[in-house]
């Protein structure tokens, strides 16, 4: 990295630290308490300057260097299996010889393809309705080709801005030859900033108009709601009370394992999609209220390995806060 790049990276990091501390000179000197269903999680003060100094500069300080990629000839069924076995939401698609970035496939593309979205037309048009033939076709048929990526010398705030501007939750990181060297996700950025105490509350950034569905909705219907509205998750609500949250990745992982995978490989996917969406809820529902500090909300997301939190007023859902909302908070 050149001297000029080093200076730019240092300036970028300084701006991010300023944003993280904006409106706030009161980073806790004592442990703060986070509440999760009456159980307290203790967190201590966080020194971001010290944290950054232990890493190299820029986005590579936070990125996952062991990024898994796949060639465009990989079958869709093998892409599903790889993503399910590794718990991935996305995998960059690269040239087999050079590892140059060619596309990306995400859990949303998978359920769009299998769940009746626009990509599902490929099953009818190219494979004459034969699902078994379709899932054995190459992943290039459903991957995003116009991929947003960043260079390996980019700053942390460059990554945040690229995600927000392009409405994406993950960025392949490439070298000057376009080869994938790492990947950075919203979760990596949340993990970096989680736990800081600020004057920013969940109520300032949460989405108040939340699309929900009922526990007897089928998995297929829930998938179509997500696809049609551009959602990655949907709360399951009964009489105004939340029962849980289901994500596109939950649906893809369901299809990639157990009896559902057997139905998928034998062409009987409709049987799996007809099951109630409530069957996908396996984790406890972790909630926050509107007065929760945005940094504490981020800490809970990291601690529980989740990408969103229902916001409650008493027993009733009044909004949702996501990783994307947290990035907006620290980008201001």
76-193 against 202-331: fold identical: yes
Question: Would you state the pLDDT for residue 57?
Answer: 61
Q: In DSSP terms, which residues pair with 236 in a beta bridge? A: 213, 244
The angle formed by the CA atoms of residues 40, 279 and 106, to the nearest 5 degrees, is: 85
Report which of 145, 148, 202 is spatially closest to residue 322, judged by C-alpha positions: 202
Instruction: Give the chain's radius of gyration (CA, Å).
Output: 21
CATH topology of domain 76-193: CBS-domain (3.10.580)
Reduce the DSSP state of residue 132 to 3 states and report it.
Answer: helix
Which residue in this structure is represented by tokens 């809820």? 281
Length of the chain: 332
Domain ranges of the chain: 76-193, 202-331
Question: Would you state the pLDDT for residue 287?
Answer: 93
Q: Does domain 202-331 have CATH number 3.10.580.10?
A: yes
Q: Do residues 209 and 259 lie in contact, with contact meaning Cβ atoms separated by under 8 Å?
A: no
- Give 248's contacts (C-beta < 8 A, 6+ positions apart): 89, 106, 107, 108, 110, 111, 223, 226, 231, 232, 233
Question: Would you state the pLDDT for residue 134?
Answer: 87
pTM for this predicted structure: 0.77
Backbone angles phi, psi at 125, to 5 degrees: -75, -40
Tokens coding 268: 């009987």
Question: Would you state the pLDDT for residue 37?
Answer: 36
Question: Would you state the pLDDT for residue 285?
Answer: 86
Backbone angles phi, psi at 79, to 5 degrees: -65, -45
pLDDT tens-digit profile, the chain (332 residues)? 444 444 444 454 444 444 444 433 322 222 222 333 333 333 333 333 344 444 446 899 888 888 899 999 999 999 999 998 888 999 999 999 999 999 999 999 998 888 877 887 788 888 887 888 888 999 999 999 999 999 999 988 899 999 999 999 999 999 999 999 999 999 988 887 776 767 789 999 999 988 999 999 999 999 999 988 888 899 999 988 899 999 998 998 888 877 788 877 777 778 888 899 999 987 788 999 999 988 889 889 989 988 899 999 988 899 999 999 988 887 77
Tokens coding 293: 């500090």
Alpha carbons 150 and 332: distance in angstroms, whole number: 21
């Amino acid at each position: 990295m050149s001297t000029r790049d080093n200076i730019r990276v240092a300036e970028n990091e300084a701006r991010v630290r300023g944003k993280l501390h904006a409106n706030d000179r009161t980073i806790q000197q004592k442990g703060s308490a986070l509440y999760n269903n009456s159980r307290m999680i203790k967190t201590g003060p966080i020194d971001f300057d010290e944290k950054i100094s232990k890493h190299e500069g820029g986005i590579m300080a936070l990125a996952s260097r062991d990024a898994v990629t796949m060639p465009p000839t990989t079958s869709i069924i093998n892409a599903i299996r790889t993503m399910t076995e590794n718990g991935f939401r996305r995998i960059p698609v690269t040239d087999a010889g050079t590892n140059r970035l060619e596309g990306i496939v995400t859990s949303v593309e998978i359920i769009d393809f299998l769940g009746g979205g626009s990509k599902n037309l490929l099953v009818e048009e190219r494979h004459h309705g034969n699902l078994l033939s379709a899932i054995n076709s190459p992943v290039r048929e459903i991957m995003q080709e116009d991929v947003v990526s960043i260079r390996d010398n980019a700053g942390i705030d460059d990554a945040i801005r690229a995600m927000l501007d392009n409405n994406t939750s993950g960025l392949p990181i490439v070298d000057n030859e376009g080869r994938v060297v790492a990947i950075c996700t919203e979760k990596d950025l949340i993990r970096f900033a989680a736990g800081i105490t600020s004057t920013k509350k969940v109520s300032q950034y949460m989405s108040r108009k939340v699309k929900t569905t009922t526990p007897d909705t089928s998995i297929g219907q829930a998938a179509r709601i997500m696809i049609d509205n551009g959602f990655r998750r949907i709360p399951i609500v009964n009489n105004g009370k939340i029962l849980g949250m289901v994500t596109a990745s939950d649906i893809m992982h369901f299809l990639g394992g157990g009896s559902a995978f057997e139905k998928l490989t034998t062409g009987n996917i409709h049987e799996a999609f007809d099951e109630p969406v409530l069957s996908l809820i396996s984790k406890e529902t972790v909630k926050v209220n509107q007065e929760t500090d945005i940094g504490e909300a981020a800490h809970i997301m990291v601690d529980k390995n989740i990408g969103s939190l229902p916001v409650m007023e008493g027993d009733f859902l009044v909004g949702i806060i996501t990783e994307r909302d947290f990035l907006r908070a620290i980008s201001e």
